[in-house]
Amino acid sequence: MSTFGIVRDVVAGQLGRNPGDFQSDTDLTEAGFESLDVIETLFAIEEKFGIAINYNANEGLAGSSMTVGDLVRMVDAELEKKRQTGQ
Amino acid sequence: MTDRAVKRVAITGVGMVSAAGHDVASSWEAVRDGVTAIRALHGIARQDYVSCRIAAQVADFDPASHFPARRLSALDRFSQFAVVAAREAFAQSGLERDSQDVREAACIVGVGVGGIGTLDDSYYRLYGEDTMRMHPLTVPRLMFNAAPSQVTIDLGIKGMSYAVGSACASGTHAIGQAFLMVRSGAVKVAVAGGSEACITAGTIAGWEALRVLSSDTCRPFSKNRNGLVLGEGAAMLVLEDFDHATARGATILAEVIGFGGNADAGDLTSPDETSIAAAMSLALRDAGLDPGQVGYINAHGTGTAINDQTEARAIRQVFGEAPPPVSSSKGVLGHCLGAAGAMEAVVTVMALARQVVPPTANCTEPDEALGIDMVPDGPREAHLGAAMSNSFAFGGLNAVLIFGKV
């Protein structure tokens, strides 16, 4: 499955919704994410991919948005780093 | 029957152990001068398990200089801090150890995570090293009520005593509870505060997972703030029936005049503007004060993006568009969880006693959009009649104290 497919499933699972409801440009806050949903989702994604995503909740200031596609880009960047370092 | 008339509540002693020093004088001096005590993380077991490299740790604290070896084996670090801070407060109060006043006193201590160092070490031995043996005092060391228990043993207190748990508001709730007990006439003396020794690899890893820790330092109310920094320590206060304190000729540092608190009943970790504004209003009502009579607010001010923004809005909601000076002590002392409210209560008492508004340390880029005067430039002399101290806990439990000048 693609990174997008896995991330979409995790996001949908977090909200108890159908994965088909989510596109790359789906805004997580608009979809119903609250403060703890973001960090729980990041944790689940890290576990699935065996990566660590460098994300500080203070950088996502209140009111700023994050999409499913943003998550996919974070994962792909970490996967690329992992590939390059061979870890 | 006990005399139930409402009593005034004096503060006749304060004690503190913090990253800035092992007593009130050195801790207050650092807060007043805005000198941060946040330093490189050092000397904890399994430090390599965490990526966070900073904390406000109590440095050079030698337990053996405070406790005999036989007693020390029962004392987790959080109990050691509580007892040392309580001894300082008690000594300042001038109360006699074996007096009836002290035997009948209450002791209430706010605790956030309790004996987490003992827990971390014990579980590492058990599960990490497959050691099938636990130290026999593991449970009495780590129990939440170890801090108040050890303070009662140390000072000979035999009145109603217990621990209070409300995460980052624990110390404030504990002082508030003690205030209500003295005000009601239920006790003449109460020793109250908060204690925490949470700088362990396991605790830091948990906070890292919440993704709210700063990677360099704590900058409350600054545009470049990027999270909180964990700290440790304790603060204790002696609260006393005002007339009783006056009659025995005690020095009264300040008065506790108001206590308010509530629950957000909403998000687990994000503060609620309306709710924390209501907590401040409840404390003002309890004190019988108008907002304009408060000359200084010691903020919860964690240095996270959302806390500082929400707290500033709530302060403006209660105090209007020109609120009194607001500062956070966490740039100096770190966030000491269950001890934070008590340490900041002592800071607020010292501000009143010395008539000085302490600054917000590390506020290098004041966030003007917050609409508050966060005292970024250093201490200010002031004429303070009353001052407020805010604490807003994870779990949405809020507590606010108001102190008055004597």
B229 and B333 in a single domain? The answer is: no
Does the pLDDT value for residue A1 go beyond 90? no
Q: B207 near B168, Cβ under 8 Å? A: no
Model pLDDT, residue B4? 62
pLDDT of B2: 55
With an 8 Å Cβ cutoff, is B369 touching chain A?
no
Which residue in B226, B268, B309 is closest to A56 by CB distance?
Answer: B226
Q: What are the beta bridge partners of residue B356?
A: B381
pLDDT at B5: 77
Q: What pLDDT is recorded for position A62?
A: 43
Comparing alpha-carbon positions, the chain B residue that sits nearest to A33 is B267
Give A87's pLDDT tier (boundaries 50, 70, 90): low
DSSP designation for A79: H
Nearest to B269 by CA among A45, A31, A40: A40
pLDDT in tens, B134-171: 899 999 999 999 999 999 999 999 999 999 999 999 99
Give me the pLDDT at residue B132, please: 82
Same domain membership, residue B263 and residue B208: no
CATH number of A3-85: 1.10.1200.10
Contact between B174 and B122 under an 8 Å Cβ cutoff? The reply is no
- Residue of B50, B207, B211, B212 to mutate when probing chain A, most A C-beta within 10 A: B211
Flag whether pLDDT at B204 surpasses 80.
yes
pLDDT over 70 at A52, yes or no: yes
- Structural contact between residues B39 and B59, judged by C-beta atoms closer than 8 angstroms: yes
Give whole-number Cα distances, A86 to A3, A72, B381, in Å. 19, 21, 59
Residues B241 and B98 in one domain: yes
Q: Give pLDDT, residue B3.
A: 58
**pLDDT tens track for A11-44:** 999 999 999 999 999 999 999 998 789 899 999 9
Per-residue confidence at A61, pLDDT binned at 50, 70, 90? very low
The domain boundary residue, chosen from B217, B247, B277: B247
| Number of domains present in the structure of chain B | 2
CA-closest candidate to residue B101, choices B18, B25, B12, B37: B12
Both B232 and B294 in a single domain?
no
Q: Are residues B147 and B190 in the same domain?
A: yes
CB B402 within 8 A of CB B349: no
Q: What is the dihedral of CA B220, B221, B223, B225, to 10 degrees?
A: 20
Q: What average pLDDT does the segment B361-379 reach? A: 98
Do B222 and B96 fall within a single domain?
yes
Instruction: Kindly tell me the sign of the dihedral angle through the C-alpha atoms of B390, B391, B397, B401.
Output: negative
Quick one: B288 and B224 in the same domain?
Answer: no
Known catalytic residue at B42? no
Q: What is the mean pLDDT of residues B277-302?
A: 98
DSSP β-ladder status, B9-17 and B233-241: antiparallel
**Catalytic member of B22, B52, B335, B336:** B335
Same domain, B195 and B320: no
Lowest mean pLDDT among A48-62, B57-71, B122-136, B318-332: A48-62
Verify whether residue B383 is a known catalytic residue: no
Amino acid at B216: D
Residues of chain B positioned with their CB less than 8 A from the CB of A60: 305
Mean pLDDT of B78-92: 98
Confidence band of A54 (pLDDT split at 50, 70, 90): confident
In a domain, B1, yes or no: no
Find chain B residues with C-beta within 8 A of A42's C-beta: 211
Residue B168 annotated to the active site: yes
pLDDT for position A55: 85
Cα gap B181→B149, rounded to integer Å: 18
Q: Which residues contact B224 (CB under 8 A, 6 or more apart)?
A: B364, B365
Residue B4 within any structural domain of the chain: no
For B300-355, what is each residue's pLDDT tens digit?
999 999 999 999 999 999 999 999 999 999 999 999 999 999 999 999 999 999 99
- If asked whether residues B103 and B237 sit together in one domain, one would say yes
- Using a CB-CB cut-off of 8 Å, the residues of chain B touching A58 are 212, 214, 225-227, 304-306
| Interval B94-104 mean pLDDT | 95
DSSP string, B103-164: HT-EEEEEESS-SHHHHHHHHIIIIIS------TTHHHHHSTTHHHHHHHHHHT--SSEEEE
Q: Are residues B127 and B211 in the same domain?
A: yes
Residue B63 pLDDT > 80 = yes
The enclosing domain of B168 has a CATH number of 3.40.47.10
Window 153-182 of B, Cβ < 8 Å to A? none
CA distances, B378 to each of A82, B25, B165, B362, B363 (Å): 46, 18, 33, 10, 10
CB B201 within 8 A of CB B45: yes
pLDDT at position A60, please? 53
Whether residue B285 is contained in a domain is answered as yes
Are β-strands B326-327 and B397-404 bridged in parallel, bridged antiparallel, or unpaired? unpaired
**B201, B347: one domain:** no
Q: Clarify whether residues B173 and B260 are in a common domain.
A: no
Mean pLDDT of chain B: 96
Q: What pLDDT is attached to residue A35?
A: 79
B215/A34 Cβ within 8 A: no
DSSP per-residue string spanning B55-119? EB--TT--GGGTS-HHHHTT--HHHHHHHHHHHHHHHHHT--TTSHHHHT-EEEEEESS-SHHHH
Is B59 part of a structural domain of the chain?
yes
DSSP for residue A87: -
Domain with B203 in it: 9-247
Q: Which residue of A29, A39, A56 to mutate against B (max B Cβ within 10 Å)?
A: A56
CA atoms lying within 13 Å on the CB side of residue B247: 7
